Amino acid sequence: MSENNSTIFILDDEPGMLKALMRLLKAEGFTVQAFTSAKAFLESYSPETLSCMVLDVAMPELNGLELQEHLTRSGLLLPIVFLTGHGDIPMSVQAIKAGAVDFLTKPVKDADLLRAVRAALQRAVEQRELILEIASLRQRYNSLTPRESEVMALVVAGHLNKQIAADLGTGEHTIKVHRARVMEKMGFEALADLVRAGERLGLRSGR
Amino acid sequence: MNWIVIIWSMTAAASLTLAAIHFLVWWQRRTAWAYVVFTVTCVGVAAFAGCELSMMLAESPEQFAVALRWLHIPTWVIVVSLVGFVRLHFRAGRAWLAWSVFALRSSAMLLNFLVGQNLNYREVTGLRHIQFLGETISLGVGISNPWMLVGQLSLLLFVIFTLDATITVWRRGDRPLAVVTGGSIVFFALTGMAQAVLVLWQVVDMPLTQSFFFLGIVVAMGYEMSRETLRAAKLSDDLRESETRMTLAAEAAGFGVWIWNLAGNRVWGSEQALRLFEFPLNAEVSFDEVTQRVHPDDRERVATARDRAMRSGGNYATEYRILLADGSERWIASRGRLYMSGNGKPDRMIGAVVDITDRKMAELELAQHRNELSHLSRVTTLSELSSSLAHELNQPLAIILTNAQAAQRLLAQEPPDIAETRDILADIVSEDERAGEVIRRLRALLKPGQTQRLPLSVNEIVEDVLRIARSDLIGRGVTVHTALVERPPQVLGDRIQLQQVLLNLILNACDAMTGNPPTQRHLTIATTHHNSKVRISVSDNGCGLLVEPERIFRPFYTTKQDGLGLGLPICRSIATAHQGRLWAQARSTGDVQPAAAPPTGGTTLHLELLAGAESKQ
């Protein structure tokens, strides 16, 4: 858990609520940044920071759900904990479906809020790790020759060496050599790891 | 005693009697100058008769001459007073003629004492004795005085003057006065003059009997004066009858009449008025006694209305309660007018009182119903807002909880953060007060209350209502614009009811905008004031009025599925009860607009109230 270099954004149009949430989270040792409007938040937000967000649903202009949608469309993966004064079930379903970590109702118990925030940060960490992993995979994958990429795609798709050789119109031995080079360049020893990497790179669906 | 003495004495006595009577009449009515002039004429005629008598009974030419000389004094008196009478009573006659008569007659009298033994004889040389009415009387014989022409000319002029005045009166239409009085004066003056000319120029042998002709004139004048007196008496009868009629009408209508005499501070009341106030009948009461009857809470208002009437010298109108001996209350409407005395000072107030208890009770009952109805509507409106209002209460509670939990953590730290905890406690207190404020406001709106009339600021009403509706407006995605005029004059009204009207207008405006995309819902609230009117205008840019504007104020007209259609009618009745107006119109470019709103479309509702804190009651 990397609470020390992470930031929690709080967004609520009610200054009193904002202040109270800041106090609670700061007392728990979090770094907190508070905003009273979505606009102010978007102006200062940078995706590099490891962060999550506590977001009020009912706000003038852009409300919480609209902000969530906006972030998703912009490809920004920011785990969100929703806080609402009067939430209903359809609203919470929409939020969770759109990827919210939790949907809490005010007044909120500190334990619930902290648990949700920690979960959100955990997800942020996971997302970051995933992103880093994919980035490194992508780097390694890019070092493959075109022929090796073809072989990897077919391996990941579950084809046997013999089938691959037939598909590519070459000998089984050549395929074995390519396959060993792929395993080496990608840094895997087990076939299962390569298959998972292939999935993450989108090879299976990408075809 | 002979006949001559008896007849002439009676003539004098009759004249003096008339003089005495009319002098007494004048004594009662000092402004009636015609009476005093008539009195003088009568005295003159009596004196004239006396002189004539001494002439007839003269025993020497000197006696005759002296009596004739003195005769000219009553003649002057009679002629001058008759001229005065004609001018005063006929209100006619040429002034230059009147002055000419006066001048000639005065000259004649001067000549009478300066030239010869008298105006008529340069010298009376002897007496002749003739038989007249069976008695022996004296007639003067001597040299005629030509200056007597002056006197006779004056009489001729007098006849002309009177004739002219009589013709004027005739033309004016007062025929009896012209014929009887004017005609008599002309006739007797002419015949008298003719006889005087004949006798004094010694053409015929007979004594002067002019006092008879004068008596004729005096009788004609006396008739005219009594006619005048009869008219006055009839007028007084008419007056009494009209008073009776008015009293009857007033009693039938339940009105009591009062007259407040400012000088003595006494109040006269008609029977009905006295009965209304439970005063003993046929008694005059003092003003203070009347004031004592007025309900203590209403005395100031009555005094204010009265002082205003006194200052402006105009009408007085007020409604107040009186407290009767048995502790019961009656509502009284009182109306009156101030009357000035001759010198322009307030003299008395005359007016009417009527019992309006039944009407007042009906009004109060109506107001009660209106209160109940508006309360019902308030409760309904607030129930529409209930979830927003719950949020409004929930918010401070949530803040308090989170703050308290933060404080627990800060105190558990080592060392505990006392400074931050202190701040937290201050915030908790203020949030708690905020929650209390929400509850207080809600309770005020939900409570059925009596209508109050207090000076209020329309801007405060707008701000209060926006605070209540804040969450709802955010929830509906409505952007609020306010354009409040600086320092508007205060209006006299009921805060809760006016808040209710505005809240209704705002919620209606929001409903009209549900078809707009969320970023295009603009609510504008403007306050303006013009002359003595203050206006709150609520505009939306929603779907606009689908029907003619007046229709939305009809009961049971609604566009909402679960609406009763009573909100706006009740709002209008509240506006009317405030002597204000409430109306709707299509939003126009003249209204205060948010820059972001589309230029047309939508509706504006105006609530117009009277400025100023002066009560109408």
Which of A90, A112, A137 finishes a domain? A137
Structure tokens at B183: 């005609």
**Do the Cβ atoms of B278 and B322 come closer than 8 Å?**
no
* Nearest residue of chain A to residue B402 (CA atoms): A20
What's residue B592's pLDDT? 59
* pLDDT range class, residue A205, cuts 50, 70, 90: very low
**Do the Cβ atoms of B579 and B566 come closer than 8 Å?**
no
pLDDT of B597 higher than 70: no
CA distance A204 to B233: 131
A42 within some domain: yes
C-beta atoms of B406 and A20 within 8 A: yes
Which of A137, A166, A181 finishes a domain? A137
A12 and A84 inside one domain: yes
Digit-coded pLDDT (tens) for B324-349: 888 888 889 998 888 887 677 788 88
pLDDT of A206 higher than 50: no
What's residue B565's pLDDT? 74
Q: For an interface test with A, which of B387, B405, B480 has the most A Cβ atoms less than 10 Å from its Cβ?
A: B405
Question: Any long-range contacts for B449-455 (C-beta under 8 Å, 24+ apart)?
Answer: B449/B371, B449/B375, B449/B496, B450/B371, B451/B367, B451/B370, B451/B371, B451/B494, B451/B497, B451/B577, B452/B494, B452/B495, B453/B492, B453/B493, B453/B494, B453/B615, B454/B492, B454/B493, B454/B494, B454/B495, B455/B490, B455/B491, B455/B492, B455/B613
- Closest-CA distance, A63 to chain B, in angstroms, reads 9
Size of interface A-B (CB pairs under 8 A): 80
A174 and A150 inside one domain: yes
Digit-coded pLDDT (tens) for A83-108: 987 777 888 888 888 889 999 988 88
Report the number of distinct structural domains present in chain A. Answer: 2
CA distance B540 to B584: 12
A108 and A194 inside one domain: no
**Cis amide bond preceding B346, omega within 30:** no
Contact list in A for residue B402 (CB cut-off 8 A) is 17, 20-21, 23-24, 107-108, 110, 113
Structure tokens at B604: 């504006």
A37 and A87 inside one domain: yes
* Nearest residue of chain A to residue B411 (CA atoms): A27
A77 and A178 inside one domain: no
Contact list in A for residue B424 (CB cut-off 8 A) is 20, 23
Contact list in A for residue B422 (CB cut-off 8 A) is none
C-beta atoms of B410 and A23 within 8 A: yes
What's residue B48's pLDDT? 92
CB atoms within 10 A of CB A15: 11
Mean pLDDT of all residues belonging to chain B: 85
C-beta atoms of B420 and A23 within 8 A: yes
Which residue in A115, A53, A59, A114 sits closest to A79, CA to CA? A53
A206 within some domain: no
C-beta atoms of B479 and A23 within 8 A: no
A101 within some domain: yes
Contact list in A for residue B394 (CB cut-off 8 A) is 85-86, 106-107
* pLDDT range class, residue B617, cuts 50, 70, 90: very low
CA distance B43 to B13: 10
Of B475, B479, B519, Cβ closest to residue A58 = B475
A207 within some domain: no
* pLDDT range class, residue A4, cuts 50, 70, 90: low
* Nearest residue of chain A to residue B473 (CA atoms): A60
* Nearest residue of chain B to residue A88 (CA atoms): B387
A151 and A183 inside one domain: yes
C-beta atoms of B391 and A107 within 8 A: no
CA distance B147 to B153: 10
CA atoms lying within 13 Å on the CB side of residue B355:
16
C-beta atoms of B405 and A85 within 8 A: no
Q: For an interface test with B, which of A21, A24, A84 has the most B Cβ atoms less than 10 Å from its Cβ?
A: A24
What's residue B593's pLDDT? 58
A131 and A40 inside one domain: yes
Of B390, B405, B410, Cβ closest to residue A110 = B405
Average of pLDDT values for A12-40? 91
C-beta atoms of B394 and A85 within 8 A: yes
ipTM of the complex: 0.78
Q: Does A17 touch chain B (CB under 8 A)?
A: yes
A186 within some domain: yes
CA distance B105 to B153: 9
What's residue B41's pLDDT? 92
* Nearest residue of chain A to residue B399 (CA atoms): A17
A149 and A130 inside one domain: no
Which of A137, A160, A185 finishes a domain? A137
A83 within some domain: yes
Q: For an interface test with B, which of A19, A23, A57 has the most B Cβ atoms less than 10 Å from its Cβ?
A: A23
C-beta atoms of B409 and A27 within 8 A: yes
Digit-coded pLDDT (tens) for B121-155: 888 888 888 888 888 888 888 888 888 889 889 99
Give the CATH number, domain containing residue A62.
3.40.50.2300
What's residue A1's pLDDT? 43
Digit-coded pLDDT (tens) for B379-394: 877 777 777 778 778 8
A133 and A147 inside one domain: no
Digit-coded pLDDT (tens) for A101-135: 999 988 889 999 999 999 999 999 998 888 888 88
C-beta atoms of A85 and B395 within 8 A: yes
Q: Is B32 exposed, middle or buried (0-12, 13-18, 19+ CB in 10 A)?
A: buried
The segment with the largest mean pLDDT, out of B7-16, B279-288, B312-321, B514-523, is B7-16
Which positions 107-146 of A are in contact with B (Cβ < 8 Å)?
A: 107-110, 113
What's residue B600's pLDDT? 63
Q: What HEC string does B488-533 produce? A: CCCEEECHHHHHHHHHHHHHHHHHHCCCCCHHHCEEEEEEEEECCE
Contact list in A for residue B400 (CB cut-off 8 A) is 107
A147 and A131 inside one domain: no
A11 within some domain: yes
C-beta atoms of A24 and B402 within 8 A: yes
- Closest-CA distance, A124 to chain B, in angstroms, reads 24
- Closest-CA distance, B498 to chain A, in angstroms, reads 27
Higher-confidence position of B194 and B31? B194
* pLDDT range class, residue B562, cuts 50, 70, 90: low
Digit-coded pLDDT (tens) for A144-169: 888 888 888 888 888 888 888 888 88
- Closest-CA distance, B469 to chain A, in angstroms, reads 14
Chain B positions with Cβ closer than 8 Å to A: 387, 390-391, 394-403, 405-410, 413, 417, 420, 424, 427, 430-431, 471, 474-475, 477, 479, 519
- Closest-CA distance, A161 to chain B, in angstroms, reads 60
A46 and A66 inside one domain: yes
Q: Is A21 exposed, middle or buried (0-12, 13-18, 19+ CB in 10 A)?
A: buried
Which residue in B347, B393, B340, B382 sits closest to B496, CA to CA? B382
Contact list in A for residue B395 (CB cut-off 8 A) is 14, 16-17, 85, 106
Residue B360: strand, helix, or coil: helix
What's residue B402's pLDDT? 94
Of A23, A60, A86, Cβ closest to residue B390 = A86
**Do the Cβ atoms of A67 and A37 come closer than 8 Å?**
no
Q: Which residues, at least 6 apart from B429, have a Cβ–Cβ distance to it below 8 Å?
A: none
Per the structure, the complete domain to which residue A51 belongs is given by: 3-137
A26 within some domain: yes
* pLDDT range class, residue B77, cuts 50, 70, 90: very high
CA distance A187 to B202: 181
* pLDDT range class, residue A64, cuts 50, 70, 90: confident
What's residue A170's pLDDT? 86
A71 and A114 inside one domain: yes
* Nearest residue of chain B to residue A58 (CA atoms): B475
Of A13, A21, A28, Cβ closest to residue B402 = A21
